[in-house]
Structure 1
């Protein structure tokens, strides 16, 4: 058995083990990276650690820390009330506002994770307060960010267009942009009605931002904070005891009264969030460093009020994401990703090769960089796209673009991880499984749908 297949089987085994047993998959993945890297690939520890996603780690820590501060000082609740007034209490409009704001940010040049990092905490805080399905809200934000991701001036669009031009293939920037926006918008519309959209259309909040009595009572019973207590979540035994008692650990934990900052401090927090958006979107600064810096400034302004914030960082989720990413990094260094891509591209049927390349792009992107996938797989398709094989280059590029990015709803991708880390008032294990199941469905279904739409038809 080749080393490539061993690494693939090991990854499958990790999923099975993490599903059967209540063990953080990140821990399993770190061990897998060490064993496969040393015993199979002959790598040393330094080479294995080269796959550790330091930028992703810093992004997750910085963003969850900053928004824990914003939650603790009452800024998130204040912004939620302002949002309710802006739409005159129409709760059903909020998920769509989040969708289009995220799409606009990526369309004008924001990196998709940056847009999700800015929008998701506010959106999910609103979802918890007004009884909106948090999975729906999180998915709307991610699909919005991906929907605008292929405009000619966007990050994904610019990189993809350069790759296509370098490969000497026909280029249609607008077609790729509209394909991504159309598919993500259609999926979001479907999700909206499947996940309680009709019920939201019949609801209207008080324009002062007050929570209706029935939902306020339900919210009070949960008593969960926006990020939960990450330290408590780390103890599997406590989780099992709480579950056996018929309640989640977050519900069982004593409710801690949230200290509210002054209005001036809340305004300073909003200024910090706006600074985060400007510095990351327009000045291309690293979102992890910027968010931690702003968080430190806010902490220095009220150290006692914010002393619990670091404990509210979602450490179990961060461990999971960076562990899996490190293992995928080992697979990339072993050449497993290239091995799979070249094996698919070498098939005799161009149509089937196009479909399988879309599948490979979707599966790999669910765990790794979508940009890297586009950069490595599009060139593999050049031989059959330049010939008379009946495969449209423009259609294939659109299909590859969509299938390689729409799967970022996976909890193992940066966008999905941000949604998981910022979910409020949920059982994290259940929410993780929901994201994983949805991500798996999208990974299987999306490549077939976009292949039929843009390549076959």
Structure 2
């Protein structure tokens, strides 16, 4: 299909040009969406912009604006200090606390982007304040989402079960959850050992600094444990944001903007410079790339890739290729959407009798979700947007490398354990 080859070639060119030249990849993504959508697809500019991720735009603006206000009025620092006290000064405990929080919240039905939007800014602030690598906490929050999202009560788990039933595929919710949880946790442990190997777990007494202990050492905060009125209302805003997004299923972007607007009206001094602290460069990058991916979905490139792989003579090889495609595409698009589109492609392979539906779908779920901290995903974008400015390039490159590694290792690992043996 000429259109598919053109679309894939343009995407590769965008990635390459943004790597070798100092230009925002989002700008190239928007140009590519216009050129390919107009020339190859006959789309109007309105059609091209139909895939502009307006919901993600609102989430990123709302969350980064709210947390900019919280940083300016001292609320984020208060949370950082309180968390540090609870950890007893052991910085290595904190990434795992965020991992477990992300797992638990996703396991009770929250979408990973909502959890990342709530936890990531606080985690990144803590990392910046106490010598923990921002890349480490961002990856562990993302992996915690993978470990919990496919629980029987997790939203992704519910969606996968529904798609399996609609396509008359065998399903086992507990095996799906156990496999995603165990592999997600194993990857988290490996990542922690790799990235935290130079950080020492150190408990320090209040007011003491132990510089000789390296970046893992920090001072137990000596700031006041009492909240000002402004900080108390900001914390209340966080509670409203959490309950509204996770319990009432309200849009987290608009809810964050609402809370931020109320705080800005009540305390204008702390919010005067907050808009300037919104990470517009990150928002442009993500929005541009996802707009182009939307063009690829409409012109049939994604469907063509999946259908082409499904015609491979060896069902086992075809299963591996589908997992690889799911991983790569999910790094740029919605995991939920990819699973809904790709799981039906498993039907002809399962019908051969050489592939088990339960193991194949679990492998596909793992492959598609381990890359969710890609810089082009909501979680990765929020991580970059909230990382210290001096660390953003490091976080961007680290997340890109991690997602690239998981796009290969995830499918190979899950396929070799869950598909190739034929026991599921």
| 1:391 and 2:359 matched | no
The 8 Å contact of residues 367 and 412 in structure 1, kept in 2 or not, is answered as yes
Alignment-derived partner of residue 193 in structure 1? 193
Gaps of 5+ in 2: 216-225
Alignment-derived partner of residue 323 in structure 1? 288
Q: CA deviation at 1:135?
A: 0.6
Matches within 5 A, 1:15-414: 15-197=15-197, 199-201=199-201, 203-206=202-205, 208=206, 212=209, 214=211, 263-388=228-353, 390-414=354-378
Gaps of 5+ in 1: 219-260
Select between 138-147 and 325-334 the one with higher mean Cα deviation: 138-147
Q: CA deviation at 1:425?
A: 4.9
Alignment-derived partner of residue 246 in structure 1? none
Q: CA deviation at 1:133?
A: 1.0
Q: Output the CA distance in 1 between the equivalents of 2:359 and 2:198.
A: 35
Q: CA deviation at 1:438?
A: 1.6
Q: CA deviation at 1:197?
A: 4.5
Give the TM-score taking structure 1 as reference length. Answer: 0.87
Count of aligned positions: 412
Q: Structure 1 residues 211 and 96 mapped into 2: Cα distance closer, same or farther (>3 Å)?
A: farther
SS in 2 for 1:148: helix
Q: CA deviation at 1:205?
A: 3.9
Q: CA deviation at 1:364?
A: 0.7
Q: CA deviation at 1:429?
A: 2.6
SS in 2 for 1:408: coil
The 8 Å contact of residues 146 and 181 in structure 2, kept in 1 or not, is answered as yes
Among 349, 364, 387, which residue is 1:423 paired with?
A: 387
Runs of 4+ in 1 over 6 A off after TM superposition: none
Q: Output the CA distance in 2 between the equivalents of 1:152 and 1:412.
A: 27
Deviations 1:190-224 (A, max 9, x none): 111111256332x1244x5x683649x99xxxxxx
Output the aligned Cα RMSD.
Answer: 1.9
The 8 Å contact of residues 84 and 205 in structure 1, kept in 2 or not, is answered as no
SS in 2 for 1:378: helix
The 8 Å contact of residues 399 and 455 in structure 1, kept in 2 or not, is answered as yes
The 8 Å contact of residues 51 and 295 in structure 2, kept in 1 or not, is answered as yes
